[in-house]
Amino acid sequence: MDSLRIHGGVPLTGRITVSGAKNAALPLMAAGLATSGTLTLENVPRLVDTASMEALLANHGLDVVRDDLTLRIGGAASNLDAPYDLVRKMRASVLVLGPLLGRYGEARVSLPGGCAIGTRPVDLHIRAMQALGAVVELADGYIQARAPGGLTGGRGVFPNVSVGATENAMIAASLAKGTSELVNVAREPEIVDLAVCLNAMGARITGHGSDTIRIEGVDSLGDATHRVIPDRIEAGTWAIAAAITGGDLLIEGAYQRHLDALVDMLVETGASVDAVDDGLHVVANGRPQSVDITTDPFPGFPTDLQAQFMALMCVAEGSSRISETVFENRFMHVPELARMGADIQVDGGIALVRGQPSLTSAPVMATDLRASVSLVLAALATDGVSEVSRIYHLDRGYSDLETKLGSCGARLERIRGGHD
């Protein structure tokens, strides 16, 4: 497996660009199953996960054509099965459930795979489909769902906030007969982006960005062209990279309104963060100060930036408390950071981090997407040479990482077929 060799201790300076958001692109691509026309998506990042979704859509019989960062998705599904060998690679594959049910009245989707962080149950997706009149059963490792007469508008109340289940319900309800109300939904920017795109396709969605979404079903969805929003998690990662390396970065394409919770915390650590015309300007001001964070659904602090922020706290002045409330089992990066000299104690969903003047270089191993990039950030801030193995996790969520960081002064190289 590939690994990343990093010569650390160099402040990152200059400009770094943000790609389109993976977590926006995947549900938008799945929405291509719901249209009777052609959906053209711009700014779609080249990632392992987006390639997996392209393969899944092609498996269903759609025409999927990529031209650099533009995807054109059209045609009708000839196969309503999403098989295990495709779905196991990525949890977001379950997002085909709603559009298949909405347009074709039937779907058979394997239980998904993806990052090994907690149980991430699919029951919220199933409940949402049942609220729209679908008959759903789990059998032989598959979600088997039917709505022979089509879906009907209903009221779905989510017991827990779920981004993916909200997205599935939005797409399905857009093609249901009548009006649907979705309560306690996710408010993430990716939800808003999906609603904007669906409305461009002819859907009638209101309330996106709040905790209640109302959808008036339509008979069919049509052609649309939509540009994927910038990846706020990538932008946040680069902001933390500037802070942890003592750097000065202009993060091109970042939207501060998508990152308010992180920006507030970075300012508390002593960094300067300013919104400028083309993005965010982040400047480190000496050793960071420790601050406490608690992850929460948007607009709270993103769980997908928790590992990166923990790396920053490992070299901060003082002690910090990091509370993970969104996913269980999301501290798998802790033992690897400890190999680099970090002082972290974990008790359930809480990590206590005692900042060290510096970390030490070491060979470390990635366990999931965000954990892997936290190790990269720690290595960038550390004198000496570190090697991060199993970086296939990185390729699922960061496009051109070596090139982007290298253009800002980072010294790193991909080692093909490195040790496991």
Catalytic residues: 115
SS3 per residue for the chain: CCEEEEEECCCCEEEEECCECHHHHHHHHHHCCCECCEEEEECCCCCHHHHHHHHHHHHCCCEEEEECCEEEEECCCCCCEECHHHHCCCHHHHHHHHHHHHHHCEEEEECCCCCCCCCCCCHHHHHHHHHCCCEEEEECCEEEEECCCCCECCEEECCCCCHHHHHHHHHHHHCCECEEEEECCCCCHHHHHHHHHHHHCCCEEECECECEEEEECCCCECCEEEECCECHHHHHHHHHHHHHCCCEEEEECCCHHHCHHHHHHHHHHCCEEEEECCEEEEECCCCCECCCEEECCCCCECHHHHHHHHHHHHCCECEEEEECCCCCCCCCCHHHHHHCCCEEEEECCEEEEECCCCCCCCEEECCCHHHHHHHHHHHHCCCEEEEEECCHHHHCCCCCHHHHHHCCCCEEEEECCCCC
DSSP at 301: B
Kindly calculate the radius of gyration of the chain based on its CA atoms and give it in whole angstroms. 21
